[in-house]
Chains A and B, each alone.
Chain A
């Protein structure tokens, strides 16, 4: 199935276009009836649009659109956007997460005003992520990064009568503004020394760069790295994450911590591999591999250590999400110039992000379910929950153990491949730190499981309802987490193939 020969080239952007159109459709619906609280209609349209985008992305991925087998990457708009296996792979992650979030939001937002805004904001952010994964120039990267970020700020503050939510939104916005300025300053420095914003041109210009400009180029590169570190919640740009995840509505936390993080990695992978090739960068003394190595170790250590002492489950998950950003950073930190293992390492990171998309979204959605019941947020509040909601708690147990990387769940293989590929690439110390942190993470993940299943409930609370949408989303995430264990073979193969194409 050669897509390029059958369809016009711009259709390769299909997933992003579908997402944008769905957002517009929601605006139209809300314009027709601004006071509508018809959750079923709004959530239904969003889910259908997202699933359509997911389907198209999966179809393109299976058909080999933009991959080596069918003529290589498709570039559009004078190379400003590119569609290849990696962008489609990440689009599949974003849309999967968004679909789960929409299904869960059906219950979470019930009877609230301004529902249409919620759905369309999430859809716009998802559009931004899809474009982010397809960016081939620093300008489009910045624009789509902002398209992802701006709706996120509003979404975090969505509960506008809730002080925590508004405060979190403001903090997120301030740190985001600072990071964006750092990012765009970095872009300007890189543009200053290379004279181009296109990744390929930047790479070739860096190749014959005058040595005296390397300081400027280096500062630019690291500032760009800072912009991505904000998006992926990596140290030292992570400060917003615990506050924003805790204050935001839980479905938004799920969306931010899974999809938004993956988007940050998607663009970071492409920018650093394509625009700042390792060999060139190292010649110039811009050792960004080392920088990411340091960031990876510090991020995973800080995230896991801080998570270990939390009392609030949502905040614990926020820190665990920082820790996972550290694991995924291994994908950029275990690279070396011209090594054959580069594709494996990067592919393992991408596969981990996919699995993480399911298990982490599921975990936050479980928190959303608990919030929906009004049970409470600390570990103690979870005591004895399994007696009342065994199915959901079983799913949560799956998420926790999978996040910790225990077999037989999807997280085991993805983490295993990640560490194994790091060792294979000669970065055993990264894998060692990762393994140590995973061991620590088991402590706080199992605290949740212990509270749910072993501890006796002290208070008497009634679970008033069984929200069908939240349950469905949690179950989809749980099944995804489980199915990704036996189904991990094709995933890792696809991921490593598309990642290797990036180095080609």
Chain B
């Protein structure tokens, strides 16, 4: 049948086509290629929805499309292939939807503002979308890595879009280099996966998670090479190597420093990066190969701990920022910390759920911020805003919905997902893995800060009296800004209803749709299988305070209470006609927070001293040893070459003599070895 999956390649190729169009003939196209991009992403969206419906009907797709390099003998093959299962289908819809809305929004943010270089911009957006979609449907780790790198490249192109200014190119370089640092480990990890398993497929009988599982269960069908380590140790090492790329792309501590700087890019790009593409890629990768991570309690523990720490760490930095996009940037880091926490705590569904709701509300918040920035004539300082509530109601209400979701206030989408993340961490922590409790505590504490900085942002931007003339008479925004905001606003409110675990537990109604969604699909890639794996290999068990129901309710109440407390504090401090900076009360902590815990400084110091010394040593080695050897070899070669030339005298009788002598020497040599003359 010519089903939805036959068109899956088109999901990736359509945005790529728009990239080619914008690049090639964008100059002569209306709106600088925007319409082509909108059409392409719209088409991708429709096809993604179709694919999702097909998956909902129980279909899955795992197919190798093209083998671009095959080794000789029984070595491995390098392939491109498609894998569409519930997780990928959901992600496809999210990515294409956000990309579609971002394209529409860009009409308002870029075209209407009279930016130049629009074809380049839309080409970048198209390629960015295409790479991310390709990453989502990749069926093996190498292909995922290639698209992962493409995503990185596109982020570099787009963050540095305004390359004539000073900051954007530098921010772009930073984003590229920092994520690249993580990607080195990823690349080594990919090679290690190939060397260990001989395949990098995600799904199926011979996929590397399945092989690893079989090896640990002692029923390995094929020999795998663990380089002399115990299998579990080696899998942990490989998993952590791949995790290097994840930490870089998903902006986890300590490689998060690029993300706030990346705000230098156009705001729609920020929305795309943060909600659906680049940053999501890291978390998605862990979810994609969760069957592998679930085998290693150490890797899971590290993921959970890094996630919890990042969530708290970034949230604290968010509370003092002045620019609206900076606050959102730190909130992104913090929210992805939650997802990592969930993944590390065995909450595969919770992480996916949060990935989805976050995609919606964070895209909404960025686009809302973009709308505010249009209105404020590209001034991003919140202290110059205020009172925009009456002047831009659509933006205000949608932004408020997004903020409520971000802060995790009942019943907005963020509440449900964040609650489930924390619940999973708590339940598994109580079930005998106390380390998770520490991560959980950090995550819980971060809820308070999240509530605080979110509403500080809302109040400073929209409430009170206008603090500047621009804020008093903001620039209007068109339909192409309001429409995406409305769509996302609705989603930010309702997206959480697909998985209301506390309600389900309370009422017994069967409304955990996302659980059902992720529980079917390809064998070995289901949430149930992951649950078994974490239980079997990582020793994750569920523990409760009292009963299951009390734990669920307790967890929900705790996080809601903390979020409300944070929001309340923000209300008290900033929802006044003329708010003032309260940061001075923090004393020296303020400086620390403003400087982002000196993360940049220490990393630059590290790079400067360590790298410079290493580089100097390498240079010496290169100049002295390598060049010396190379020069030596070349002069020896040339010398012996000129000697060899002299054999060729030009006298034919010499040749005949040498020929005969050579033959006799060969005859004698082989003859003596073979013992002919005995």
Contacts and interface: CB of A to CB of B under 8 A. Distances in A.
Contacts of B666: 222, 236, 291, 294-295
Nearest to B71: A420
A179 to B, nearest CB: 8
A214 B674 contact: yes
A261 B661 CA distance: 23
B234 to A, nearest CB: 25
A502 interface: no
A222 B663 contact: yes
B659 A417 contact: no
Given A218-B670, A443-B634, A243 B650 contact: yes
A305 B640 contact: yes
Contact of B72 (A219, A239, A305, A420): A420
A66 to B, nearest CB: 24
A305 B633 CA distance: 12
A178 interface: yes
Nearest to B671: A218
B652 interface: yes
A440 B660 CA distance: 29
B570 to A, nearest CB: 59
Interface string B625-652: 0000000001001101110110010101
A128 interface: no
A171 interface: yes
Range of interface residues on chain B? 20 to 34
Nearest to A240: B655
Contacts of A287: 670, 673-674
A355 interface: no
A236 B662 contact: yes
A135 B670 CA distance: 27
Contact of A305 (B644, B661, B674, B677): B644
A248 B169 CA distance: 59
Q: Tell which of B73, B648, B676 has the most Cβ of chain A within 10 Å.
A: B676
A443 B662 CA distance: 29
Contact of A237 (B638, B640, B659, B673): B659
Given A237-B659, A239-B658, A306 B644 contact: yes
Contacts of A226: 663
B3 interface: no
A424 B640 CA distance: 31
B652 A174 contact: yes
A222 B662 CA distance: 12
B667 interface: yes
Contact of A218 (B661, B662, B674): B674
B674 A285 contact: yes
B1 interface: no
Given A174-B656, A239-B648, A219 B662 contact: no
Nearest to B648: A242
Q: Tell which of B634, B659, B677 has the most Cβ of chain A within 10 Å.
A: B659
Contact of A222 (B642, B655, B667): B667
A178 B656 contact: yes
Contacts of A182: 663
Interface in A205-250: 214-215, 218-219, 222-223, 226, 235-237, 239-240, 242-243
Contact of A235 (B641, B656, B662): B662
B30 interface: no
A309 interface: yes
Interface in B70-91: 70, 72-73
B228 interface: no
Contacts of A424: 72-73
A307 B676 CA distance: 37
B670 A175 contact: no
A18 B370 CA distance: 76
B508 interface: no
Contacts of B659: 175, 178-179, 236-237, 239
A479 to B, nearest CB: 21
A375 to B, nearest CB: 24
B675 interface: yes
Interface string B502-541: 0000000000000000000000000000000000000000
Nearest to A291: B670
Contact of B645 (A171, A239, A309): A309
Nearest to A221: B670
A380 interface: no
Contacts of B671: 215, 218-219
B72 A308 contact: no
B565 to A, nearest CB: 62
Contacts of A235: 662
Contacts of B675: 285
Contacts of B648: 239, 242-243, 306
A215 B677 contact: yes
B194 to A, nearest CB: 16
A309 B639 CA distance: 8
Interface in A323-377: 344
A240 B654 CA distance: 11
B641 to A, nearest CB: 4
A178 B530 CA distance: 76
B676 A218 contact: yes
A294 B666 CA distance: 9
Nearest to A303: B644
A249 to B, nearest CB: 20
A175 B637 contact: no
Contacts of A421: 72
Contacts of A51: none
A208 B404 CA distance: 93
Interface string A482-502: 000000010000000000000
Interface string B125-145: 000000000000000000000
Nearest to B662: A236
A93 interface: no
Contact of B667 (A219, A237, A294, A489): A219
A302 interface: yes
Contacts of A310: 645
A305 B663 contact: no
7 contacts: A170-B652, A219-B667, A235-B662, A237-B662, A285-B675, A286-B674, A305-B640
Interface of B: 70, 72-73, 634, 637-638, 640-642, 644-645, 648, 650, 652, 655-656, 658-663, 666-667, 669-671, 673-677
Closest 4 pairs between A and B when the two form their complex, measured CB to CB = A236-B662, A285-B674, A215-B676, A239-B655
